[in-house]
Structure 1
């Protein structure tokens, strides 16, 4: 078959996917399959059936599939609609900034393979420097070459142990020095989120300050999930921070975590003292519910229990993060279908707390309808397979959202992040 695929080869993952398939068969059905692997070598794939136009062309940018994993006109639909090869709900893990390789296959209506095409999508531009750091801190620094007076950002992941190098690389292309910082789970660091000192984050900013190309008056911090706790706590104690972004955040300090289980240890300390923390109580009824889901292999969500917990604001008052002490504008991002923690309710509580905040005119509170815990930048990018949950030992933990809603939230939060950082860190630098 003389089939041609016209595609932008080395495009950024942020770019809309532009592809046309020249089939030479007008008004005929063809199945497109797309597959890739994540950092853990887990396979993901999607498929959709298209009908070629009068000229025998399939244009992914203007045509909707007639069936498949998605059905709307969306040039990125084959990417965000991908699912794990084993048909179980799985996290798509893409922390590194190495390019992603995709394989597109074109099949006839009778499932005969007609064409195979391989292409890559990138997180890095060629003018971005990469500096692995393994000294008093652990992480990776990304920054534009031959630039000076760069605003600098520390990027913190959540309890899944993410070190968001891929997102740091993309932010660096916008003119920032970005440190994707690990604070547990790596060699030389605590195994879990236990007794993490704010001084560790301070060392990361001292490291950035030591770089001649960094403007030490333009520091920002971004945290996702438990990382947002750390980001907000750090910013409340350090006036050098000029911009704070908290994604899928908590309004209170929770206890430590090890292997995704709450522990009796503090998560965070400052000057040798632990922050007061709340440990979610687990009743006998909760335990029975969990094991019932496990035995019946039913997807499990803890969100209703969490919502009950945070309704008692008086009980949680001693554990609140002192966000009113933050001397910088803050942007909060949450999905309305977060099944890990009630981030939407937390953000609304913090919105109320900050009504008289010094920077209230610049603070932003963003809510994404039907989006889950792993829906927003930096934990998610729109043109990648979307994470709705994870399956271990036949037990699926639900994180929330739909693939389409999460992809939309990722796209919009990337744009909002860039806009907020430009406003708060004044993205200007000397060449």
Structure 2
């Protein structure tokens, strides 16, 4: 090698949801090298929040340089390592944390880090020695995006916006049974970086909020929408709602009560109101309330759950009064789910939602549904590592499902808000 080794990261965007290609030039032709990737200060939405960002995620592969001394992961075949074959995002998607030590999480919103960016370090290794390295930043929240913490009464929020924006569509983001705000924030930051105003809402698990996911008033969506409507950056007639898992259940339920929501995306939804949770135990009460009264709900039965998941028996009939009457919602709706959802039957729920949507009167709004076959309940941001499904699905399929579902989400909001 006579020239200095050059490591580049080619990408259409610096955003974390955008694919990138690692290119290494000025290597010895036909020689095999190890490419090592480390992610520092990396927040991964697909793992428990208390894993923390101090953990380094890493992956590595062995690759042979071509006749010109170049390695390009878009074209070069991994011989061994974290994956084999040709995969542009293989190193990133197959990254794993060095350890799984849990951290103590802050309970006050203002103490929760924004986790707005992370560092990618690419090293070229020969005979166990690093001979070249370079680092790059990837963003969930672009540097031009501002944020503000807000009190929503029985909920709290962190809003993300471009200061110079005016009359832009806005999205309320509610996440699932993890509670807190970190996962909703991760998604809201990316929405804001794609041109929306986005409000991440925490509705339990933080100081001043309900301790558990039980008897949460669905009215928390009202002050969230009202707050956004008053911002100069927001077009008050274009406010949408994104929810995943229990957040999708909340989003669908709230949409039937509050008609100022123009567009909803429900990721891994339930078509019924389910029992609340105290930690990981049933709460013996509804997840949600309206005007101080518990909404009818389906109780959790461990025996029925195990028979459904292990013995593959069809789920028991749902109480009719617990079904979400989505036909009362007249806005645009996108539902995304997995054919083999390990938490609940999101595919079956979407089928039932589709049937009820047909009961809508005088609505020309869009309804779209998509079911994925290479993933489970955790269907989040494009390209992000998902350790959970490595033993159950070919990782290439899970990666593609994450890309497609995220693109469906962004495109749906762009077209319907």
Corresponding residue for residue 22 of structure 1: 25
Corresponding residue for residue 400 of structure 2: 408
Q: 1:163-191 deviations in whole A, cap 9, x for unaligned?
A: 42222122113322110111111111111
Contact conserved, 2:228 with 2:234, CA < 8 A, in 1?
Answer: yes
Contact conserved, 1:34 with 1:78, CA < 8 A, in 2?
Answer: yes
Give 1:195 shift: 1.2
Q: Residue 146 in 1 paired to residue 148 in 2?
A: no
5+ residue gaps, structure 1, are 89-93, 287-301, 390-397, 426-431
Contact conserved, 1:163 with 1:182, CA < 8 A, in 2?
Answer: no
Q: How many residues align?
A: 390
Query: For 1:254, which of 274, 292, 296 is the aligned residue?
Result: 274
5+ residue gaps, structure 2, are 44-51, 102-111
Alpha carbons of 1:240 and 1:285: their partners in 2 closer, same or farther (altered >3 Å)? Answer: closer
The secondary structure found in structure 2 opposite 1:404 is helix
Give 1:75 shift: 1.8
Paired with 1:414 and 1:283, the residues of 2 have a C-alpha distance of 34
Give 1:200 shift: 1.6
Give 1:387 shift: 4.1
Query: For 1:60, which of 73, 78, 96 is the aligned residue?
Result: 73
The secondary structure found in structure 2 opposite 1:146 is coil
Corresponding residue for residue 319 of structure 1: 322
Q: 1:245-282 deviations in whole A, cap 9, x for unaligned?
A: 10000011111112232221221000011001112112
Contact conserved, 1:340 with 1:399, CA < 8 A, in 2?
Answer: no
Corresponding residue for residue 296 of structure 1: none
Give 1:97 shift: 4.3
Give 1:57 shift: 0.9
Corresponding residue for residue 147 of structure 2: 130
TM-score (norm 1): 0.83
Corresponding residue for residue 49 of structure 1: 62
Corresponding residue for residue 131 of structure 2: 114
Paired with 1:95 and 1:413, the residues of 2 have a C-alpha distance of 27
Paired with 1:144 and 1:334, the residues of 2 have a C-alpha distance of 31
Paired with 1:333 and 1:306, the residues of 2 have a C-alpha distance of 25
Q: 1:196-215 deviations in whole A, cap 9, x for unaligned?
A: 10122211112112212221
Corresponding residue for residue 386 of structure 2: 386
Paired with 2:113 and 2:402, the residues of 1 have a C-alpha distance of 15
Query: For 1:277, which of 294, 297, 302 is the aligned residue?
Result: 297
Contact conserved, 1:221 with 1:241, CA < 8 A, in 2?
Answer: yes
Paired with 1:70 and 1:360, the residues of 2 have a C-alpha distance of 46
Corresponding residue for residue 356 of structure 1: 359
Contact conserved, 1:209 with 1:215, CA < 8 A, in 2?
Answer: yes
Contact conserved, 1:23 with 1:52, CA < 8 A, in 2?
Answer: no
Corresponding residue for residue 371 of structure 1: 375
Paired with 2:374 and 2:305, the residues of 1 have a C-alpha distance of 28
Query: For 1:268, which of 288, 294, 298 is the aligned residue?
Result: 288
Give 1:308 shift: 4.0
Corresponding residue for residue 6 of structure 1: 8
Q: Residue 205 in 1 paired to residue 210 in 2?
A: no
Question: Which region of structure 1 is more displaced relative to structure 2, 17-26 or 52-61?
Answer: 17-26
The secondary structure found in structure 2 opposite 1:388 is helix
Paired with 1:68 and 1:327, the residues of 2 have a C-alpha distance of 50
Alpha carbons of 1:24 and 1:423: their partners in 2 closer, same or farther (altered >3 Å)? Answer: closer
Contact conserved, 1:81 with 1:404, CA < 8 A, in 2?
Answer: no
Q: 1:206-256 deviations in whole A, cap 9, x for unaligned?
A: 211221222111111010000011101100001111101100000111111
Contact conserved, 2:174 with 2:247, CA < 8 A, in 1?
Answer: yes
Contact conserved, 1:254 with 1:278, CA < 8 A, in 2?
Answer: yes
Give 1:307 shift: 6.3
Corresponding residue for residue 106 of structure 2: none
Question: Which region of structure 1 is more displaced relative to structure 2, 265-274 or 348-357?
Answer: 348-357
Question: Which region of structure 1 is more displaced relative to structure 2, 6-15 or 47-56?
Answer: 6-15
Give 1:95 shift: 8.7
Two-structure CA RMSD over aligned residues (Å): 2.7
Corresponding residue for residue 240 of structure 2: 220
